[in-house]
Amino acid sequence: VTNPLGETTERDYSVRRQLLAERDALLHETRYSYNMSSPTDIEGSEDALHQFTNYLYDGQGRFNGIEDPAGNATRLGWGSVNDANGNALKLLIDANGAATHYETDVKGRRIAEIDATGARTEYQLDSEGRVTQETRYRLLPDGSTQALVSRSEFDGEGRVTKSVDPLGFISLTQYNAAGDVASSIDVMGRRTTHTYDAQGRKSGTDYPDAAAKDAFLFDTNGNPIFEKLYGQPGVFRIYDVLDRVISEKVGTRTSTTEYDAAGRVTKTIDPLNRASTSSYDAAGRRTTSTDPLGQTTSYAYDALNRLTSSTDALNRTTAYAYDAAGRRTALTYPDAETETATFDGVGRKLTESYAGITKTYRYDAVGHLSDVVESTALGD
């Protein structure tokens, strides 16, 4: 495939039309392999740095995990259990071991779920399987349960025309012949209307305040070349043959952007004619950035493409560390001060510590943040 700039992306396919390899304009190649018993399932990929990612499936051919280039596996588990009444529940276990239970009707449609915190949500469906009512059960401090009910109504095309929130407030939506939103009325009874051009692109919006309006214009490729939002200066844009913004004028201030063959931003010039530049490695990761003052910052990454350090023009380094789930657990500043964080099995932050001060996050029975306790090394 060759774009208007003459830059070529090459793709290799098998006789089964499986994508086997892809090479971009910089000749960076990614290769793919497939499951022999299920030809549509990708079994693995190898990127431009020869790092392998494996895709995992269970005995029934269901996707259940990824093994990254470092050998770390993130898995999903499928199964079923019975509730107290003997009804079968579908079970999905995520990489942290947190289980979500699903209840289905005789047609296999989801009608209820219980998340890892025990919070229950129920759904009522119409004959088309659309959710007409959603009930979320919230545990109150006194131990009782509150049902939060939301309702929706649909037109013959399946579009939402009326919504009622748990407090009983109503929102209405009307559509034009093309199916675009023509107007909406919010819970306060305020109307907003929208207009469209011949190609169905939004050309204007009139808000409840008569003076509040938005306006939009597009080029022949559908790119927005003019945008005027209420209360803000107009924005004019110029695009290259690949529909990338190369110039943008906001009010009287103009900035420009340049790209490399892979479409990455390599240079920007701000309204004061100051240039910033960036460079990248073979995997497309930014390795350096130079600001308008000529000061360069460099970046390093691990095998999972996570940022591990950044070093500024004064040779001051900031380092980053992560747990097996990819959550940032430590941030070490150039002065050697370290900010740390811990998480529970369902990914909620438990503690955050920096400069001798620790914040502890606590959650209620349904997983909502209930309070934050701050303490110092002296116990205050």
Dist CA 158 CA 303 (whole Å): 45
Q: What is the pLDDT of residue 203?
A: 96
The answer to the question of residue 356 being in a domain is: yes
Q: What is the pLDDT of residue 264?
A: 94
| Distance separating the N- and C-terminal Cα atoms of the chain | 64
pLDDT in tens, 220-253: 999 999 999 999 999 999 999 999 999 999 999 9
pLDDT beyond 80 at 99: no
The answer to the question of residue 139 being in a domain is: yes
pLDDT band for position 91 (50/70/90)?
A: low
The residue from 168, 183, 204 where one domain ends is 168
What is the 3 state secondary structure string of 173-214?
EEECCCCCEEEEECCCCCEEEEEECCCCCEEEEECCCCCCEE
The answer to the question of residue 130 being in a domain is: yes
Number of domains into which the chain is organized:
2
Q: What is the pLDDT of residue 78?
A: 58
189-194 average pLDDT score: 96
For residue 154, what are the domain limits?
A: 119-168
The answer to the question of residue 187 being in a domain is: no
Q: What is the pLDDT of residue 65?
A: 74
pLDDT in tens, 247-260: 999 999 999 999 99
The residue from 168, 203, 233 where one domain ends is 168
Dist CA 351 CA 353 (whole Å): 7
The answer to the question of residue 371 being in a domain is: yes
Q: What is the pLDDT of residue 23?
A: 83
The string of DSSP codes covering 319-368 is EEEE-TTS-EEEEE-TTS-EEEEEE-TTS-EEEEEETTEEEEEEE-TTS-
pLDDT beyond 60 at 19: yes
365-373 average pLDDT score: 77
Q: What is the pLDDT of residue 41?
A: 75
pLDDT beyond 70 at 93: no
Helix/strand/coil for 286: strand
pLDDT in tens, 299-349: 999 988 999 999 999 999 999 999 988 899 999 999 999 999 999 887 889
pLDDT in tens, 130-142: 999 999 998 888 8
The answer to the question of residue 355 being in a domain is: yes
The answer to the question of residue 35 being in a domain is: no
Dist CA 298 CA 321 (whole Å): 17
pLDDT in tens, 163-191: 999 999 999 999 999 999 999 999 999 99
Evaluate whether 114 touches 366 at the Cβ level (below 8 Å).
Answer: no
- Compute the mean pLDDT over every residue in the chain, rounded to the nearest whole number: 87
50-58 average pLDDT score: 78
The answer to the question of residue 241 being in a domain is: no
Evaluate whether 93 touches 111 at the Cβ level (below 8 Å).
Answer: no
